[in-house]
Amino acid sequence: MNILVVDDEKVQLETLKRGLRSKGHEVAGALSAKDAIRHLEDSTLRHLKNGAKIDLVLTDYSMPEMNGLELLKRIRKDHGSLPVIMMTAYGEKDLIIDALRNRCDSFIEKPFTLDQLMQEIERAKISILENANTDQLSDLIPEFLHQINNPLTSIIGSAELAMLKSNNAEAIKKLLTGIMTATEEIQAISKELLTLGQTTKDEIEKVDIMVLLDDCIDMFKDLLLLKGITVEKDFSGRDVCLSGNKFGLEQAFKNLILNAIDSMEDTPEKILKIKVTADEKTSSVSIHVEDTGCGIPKELVDKIFTPYFTKKKDGTGLGLPVVKRVVAEHKGVIRVHSQVGKGTIFRVRFPENCGS
């Protein structure tokens, strides 16, 4: 978790910071309530890794100018249900009633041990989920559940292919490896799902686009073989990368690839083309995902990114909205060109914002 510790005693503040960091938390410190407010207002929070937002505030009650209770009231006004643990000294228990009225999540009485503090933090994690934005969760949970369909589809393809090659031990071994890789991805998605409602920000890292696309194609290699789809890659030119969230980008391109696979179910020609180009003049990266599938009727093109809109028999209508959201989060744009009976091209362009 990303924790903001507020205490006007420097020694106590540094002790708490070191203790929490030793338990794997990211920690920022504030020597006053006013300093804490400035931290919370700074959305980049340079004190914390990846500029992530604060997940929890651990504050002392007795502080000059503005005490912990006044800070709690300000947090409730400006930051809603952000979890707050208040440190109190013996004799300050009368404040608890007032603090509870302002939805203080927990209290811990000084002196306390690091283990006791960790127990209170674990209890506060429950508050994070209980007080999460319901509308946000209702939007995100279906999206994450939809993402599980991608590795599940890969598993089904590998299993079906394994049944056709039951006498080939080496082929079976490779197919089982693919199944294990897909199950690991489901585990990763499940882990992301369990953190819904927390305010942690997705990790940003340097992402090699060509490696990422190869991994996405590899996820569906057995399904592509089973359905007789030929993959044509054009990764010509220099290597390119983005500064972004690898998990999100993977989900976006896996959705586009699976969408292309589905569109070629009943077409005689089955070719999936993926092209990457870098434009030095505009400092941008373009990725084209093209299929020879059924195509999208002109009157539906503007609707395909609308959540829950689908013409597929078993579709959820969430794959392309996820793609659009991820592309937008990376300051990119996506365009669609489609002809019924001939196929579809999705063109995604991102600013190339890290070195090659």
Q: Residue 7's pLDDT band (boundaries 50, 70, 90)? A: very high
Mean of the pLDDT values across residues 54-69?
88
Rounded Cα distance, 151 and 154, in Å: 5
Residue 112: is its pLDDT beyond 80? yes
Domain 135-351, second-level architecture: 2-Layer Sandwich (3.30)
Task: Output the pLDDT for position 196.
Answer: 47
Compute the average pLDDT of residues 56-71.
89
Query: Which pLDDT does position 132 carry in this prediction?
Result: 52
Which pTM does this prediction carry?
0.51
Whether residue 200 is predicted with pLDDT greater than 80 in this model: the reply is no
Three-class SS state of 208: strand
More confident residue, 233 or 50: 233
**189 confidence band (pLDDT: 50, 70, 90):** low
Residue 285, token pair as written in the block:
């990266």
pLDDT tens-digit profile of 223-248? 898 889 999 999 876 678 888 888 88
The runs of H, that is alpha helices, within the chain are 10-22, 33-41, 68-79, 95-101, 114-130, 134-164, 169-194, 209-219, 221-226, 246-263, 319-329
187, 195, 264: which is closest to 224 by C-alpha? 264
The single residue listed with the structure tokens 């999100």 is 248
Which CATH architecture does the domain made up of 2-130 adopt? Answer: 3-Layer(aba) Sandwich (3.40)
Which of 61-65, 80-84, 165-169 shows the lowest mean pLDDT across its residues? 165-169
Residue 88, pLDDT > 80, answer yes
Map out the domains of the chain as residue ranges: 2-130, 135-351
Q: Which contacts qualify for 335-340: CB closer than 8 Å, 24 or more apart?
A: 336/296, 336/301, 336/304, 338/295, 338/296, 338/298, 338/301, 339/295, 340/294, 340/295, 340/296, 340/297, 340/298
Dig out the tokens for 193 from the structure. 């799902």
pLDDT at 108: 85
Q: What is the pLDDT of residues 117-156, one digit of tens each?
A: 988 887 776 655 555 544 444 555 555 555 666 676 777 7
> Which range, 95-104, 106-115, 141-150, has the best average confidence (pLDDT)?
106-115
Confidence of residue 171 (pLDDT cuts 50, 70, 90): confident
**Segment 268-307, tens digit of pLDDT:** 999 999 999 888 888 889 999 999 999 999 999 888 888 7
Structure tokens at 353: 């914002």
What pLDDT does residue 279 have? 84
23 or 135, which is more confident: 23
